[in-house]
Amino acid sequence: MASGGFGEYLDRLGGAGTMRVVHVVLNIVAATLGIFFLIIGTTGAFDLYKSFGGTTVPVMSIVLGGLVTMISLVGIVGSIKRSQYMFGTYSGLLAILVIVQLIALTMIWLRPGDIEDKFGNVWEGFYENDPDTIRYIERDLKCCGFKSPVDMPVPANCSLKKHYGFTVGCLKPLAQQWRAQRRTVLWAGFGMVGAQILALVLGAELGRRYMNARHGEYQRVPGERNEASPLIRA
């Protein structure tokens, strides 16, 4: 029987066709989120504000985004080709990746929320060695100084200067920006893991059905109902 007949056989038994479509959709969602992580990781790695938040999250986003996209594409191709071997590879890699992602997201979740001291050290370094960066931050975030307009401002009286004139310190908008980015990464990450877990369950079930079909049920007539068929009983 031709390979097309095998695909028709699978689609006619046990709802495998519907499961395959759902599996492809879930992997498309995961791949899209993986690309999103690649983008935010790449932009974050070259962003001026990485000095405050560090490079850990951008690097993790790039690595995980690339792995998620690659493995999701393997799952999509495996669904389209109805390949038992691609499903086996996909399921094994995805199971490992889900565990790694959960560990990474937990690390981000548990990162200390009190960032005043760290941000203060970074600001002091800019104040002493790179005042132009402070000028850029103040204009970008519409603030002056670190905690207040008199706390390491550039220029010294920036709250009164033309093109400045801001009366709030930069700590609050910097912290708000950092926490917003952290929430975005966490929500997108947990959403991606959720889609992957569902795809993993469907992929494992489809792989089992494909294997059973290869091991004997494929030799039966597709239009003939057989109560002993594991595909029908599943």
pLDDT in tens, 90-108: 888 888 988 988 888 888 7
Measure the CA–CA gap between 72 and 93, rounded to whole angstroms. Answer: 10
**How confident is residue 11, by pLDDT bands cut at 50, 70 and 90?**
low
- Tokens (6 digits) for 78: 């495996």
Measure the CA–CA gap between 118 and 42, rounded to whole angstroms. Answer: 23
pLDDT of amino acid 226: 45
* Cβ(33)–Cβ(192) below 8 Å: yes
pLDDT of amino acid 159: 65
Average pLDDT, the chain: 76
- Which residues, other chains included, contact 73 with Cβ-Cβ below 8 Å and sequence gap of 6+? 27, 31
**How confident is residue 207, by pLDDT bands cut at 50, 70 and 90?**
low
pLDDT in tens, 17-73: 677 788 788 888 888 988 988 998 888 777 777 777 777 778 888 888 899 999 888
* Cβ(192)–Cβ(101) below 8 Å: yes
Poorest-pLDDT segment among 122-126, 143-147, 157-161, 172-176: 157-161
**How confident is residue 89, by pLDDT bands cut at 50, 70 and 90?**
confident
